[in-house]
Each structure stands twice: as C-alpha cells, then as structure tokens.
Amino acid sequence: MSAGQAELRQPTPAEFRAFQELVLQDSGIWLSEMKKALLAGRLARRLRELGLHTFTEYHERVSTDPVERVQMIDLLCTHETHFFREPHQFEHIEQVLLPQLRAEADAGRHSRRIRAWSAACSSGEEPFSLAMLLLSVFPPGSGWSIDILASDLSTRILERARAAVWPLARSSEIPPPYLKRFMLRGVGKEEGRMKACPELRQLVRFERINLKDDSYPVEAPFDLILCRNVLIYFQAAEKLRVVGRFARLLSPHGCLYLGHSESLLGTTSALEAVGPNTYALPGAATSGTRRAS
C-alpha cells in the first residue's frame, strides 16, 4: 500500500446485497453470505487499480459500464477443472453414447458428425479431454467429423483455454496413450509446460456464452453437452430454466452430463437419468443403460 493510501474497508451488508443482486441479474449466479469474503478479496485489487475507495463507488461504476461489469464477473468466477474429470462420464461417452450414435448413423438416422458443447469450459481441460476421446474413436479418415464448442462466462479464462497450454504437472491426469499422441512438451522457455497439438486444437472453438440468457447463440442439436459444477451456483428456478434450454438443444439420442453434486432427480420431466448425473431425453436411451442417479 502506497503512503497516504487509505485501507479499503470490507463491504457493508448493504453493499454486499447490491452486488448479490447485480451478479444474479447479470449471470444467474447467486453469491451466498459465505461468499462475502470472496467478493471482497477478488474485487479489492480492482478497486485500487481504478482509484476507488468504497464498494459503493465500484457498484456505481459497474452498474453503468458494461465492459467493467464483464471484468467484475471474470474476477468473481471460480475456475476449478481437470483433465478427464468425472471419469465415469467419459466411460459412458465412449462405451454407451458413441456406439449408440454409430449405430444410428449406420441405420441412416444420424449424420456422421459428432457435435459437442463444453459449457463453462474454464481453462480448457474439459473440451480438450473430450477432443482426445472423440478423435481416438473417430480418427481422420474414418468418415466422421467432430465439432466441439467450448464456452464460458469469463473472457479472461477463455483466452487461457484458447491458448491450450497447461503446466506439465497436469499431464498426470491424461491417460499415457493420449498424452503421447496429443500433447506437445515445451522446451527452452516453454519448459515445464505442455500444449495441445494442432490436430486437437482445430476441433475446438471458443465463445463467450452466458447460461442465464434466454437463448444461446449456438447451432443445434448437440449429441452431448457437458456442464459440470456450474448449476450449483444457480437458484432452483434458474437452474431448471438452463436445464430446459439444454434439453431443447440435445439430439434425439444425446446426453447431458452434470457435476457430481448436481442431480436432477425429481426436479424435471424434460430429461431422465441414464447414469450418474447423466441425462437424456425421455425414452431416448436403451433400457440397458438406464439407471437412477
């Protein structure tokens, strides 16, 4: 802290409520009272950068400045992800969903194109895990094409995901055959890092999408949608609205994959459970894959 600079005080209850409402309105994310320290910690540096002295001043700024509001949401978003997180869901994709889609294509009821959406992709581990799996099942020359959309609310994290560079320590999360085939090891100034190979990077495109919006700027349908550990931050009504929009974007045999603490059991008739936190349109899955979650 520079000489003469006053220490930034913590937000008052009224200031915190004002940010709660603004973040909810803008993103659908509900900041519980337990997040007060998180909000203060993540926004304090930005207030100092702008020369502001109170959270009320910053609230006035973001209320009228849409660019700064995006910056605020970027700072408040939590980005926790891993390669091949929830491995049982990747097993479901490989052993159940993809064979089903292949059979549908062989019967002339599905194109030989796989379309996937990693919603809330964070720093890219999830969509690139999916790309590794899909490219292994449907390699070049197989007659299949792969299209993966990766989106997030944070523009800052999307830039990191688009770069497709991670610490080499994350390599332990990737199965060795995939690691050898798809990841490039950094040398020289890039030592200690790894990067997805060009073949992998060309499969994934990135867009900023707000899941709270009434509609999404995407091309339907999708054969699989991954949206893990995001809906836990939404209130119940908003969560169901998002799930309803996902359901309308699924192909007839498509699946929605949620996080381990995001069960839809007993909350909606738009989708039915076909695996742990894995959902499909009613009647779409084969009876052998149907199970409660």
Q: Is 181 a catalytic residue?
A: no
pLDDT at 289 over 90: no
The enclosing domain of 44 has a CATH number of 1.10.155.10
Residue 175 domain flag: no
**218 Cβ contact list (under 8 Å, min separation 6):** 117, 149, 209, 249
Examine the domain organization and report whether 101 and 67 are in the same domain: no
Q: Where are the alpha helices (DSSP H) in 217-269?
A: 236-249
Both tokens of 256, joined, read 């929605």
pLDDT of 287 higher than 60: no
Same domain, 111 and 157: yes
- 267 has pLDDT over 90: no
Q: Which H or E run contains 148? A: strand 145-152
Overall number of domains in the chain: 2
What interhelical angle do 66-76 and 13-27 show, nearest 10?
100
Q: How confident is the model at residue 293 (pLDDT cuts 50, 70, 90)?
A: very low
Q: Are residues 47 and 140 located together in one domain of the fold?
A: no
d(CA 32, CA 70): 20
**Banded pLDDT at 266 (limits 50, 70, 90):** confident
pLDDT of residue 79: 77
Banded pLDDT at 6 (limits 50, 70, 90): low
pLDDT at position 120 over 50:
yes
| Average pLDDT value for residue range 135-158 | 95
**Same-domain check for residues 228 and 285:** yes
CATH number at residue 132: 3.40.50.150
Predicted local confidence at residue 262, as pLDDT: 87
Helical residues (DSSP H) of 65-117, grouped into ranges: 66-76, 87-92, 98-106
Residue scoring higher pLDDT (231 or 287): 231
pLDDT at 226 over 60: yes
- CB contact at 8 A, 290 and 273: yes
Strands (E), 186-286: 193-196, 204-208, 222-227, 250-258, 272-275, 278-280
pLDDT tens string 39-70:
999 999 999 999 999 999 999 999 999 999 98
Q: Is residue 157 part of a domain?
A: yes
Given 76, 108, 124, which residue is the final one in a domain? 76
Model pLDDT, residue 265? 83
- Which range, 17-26, 142-151, 263-272, is most confident? 142-151
Residue 237 and residue 133 share a domain: yes
- In this predicted structure, the answer to whether residue 223 has a pLDDT above a threshold of 70 is yes
Asked if residue 201 is part of any domain, the answer here is: yes
Q: Which of 6-10, 41-45, 133-137 has the highest mean pLDDT?
A: 133-137
Confirm whether pTM is higher than 0.75: yes
Percent of the chain with pLDDT over 90: 77
Q: Is the pLDDT of residue 288 over 50?
A: no
Residue 6 lies in a domain: no
Catalytic residue among 74, 115, 152, 223: 152
Among 42, 61, 193, 201, the active-site one is 42
Is 152 an annotated catalytic residue? yes
Tens-digit pLDDT profile for residues 169-215: 999 999 999 999 999 999 999 999 999 999 999 999 999 999 999 99
* Per-residue pLDDT at 285: 54
Confidence of residue 146 (pLDDT cuts 50, 70, 90): very high
Predicted pLDDT of residue 1? 40
Tell me the β-bridge partners of 227.
258
Domain ranges, residue 55: 13-76
Q: Cα(241)–Cα(259) distance, rounded to whole angstroms?
A: 17
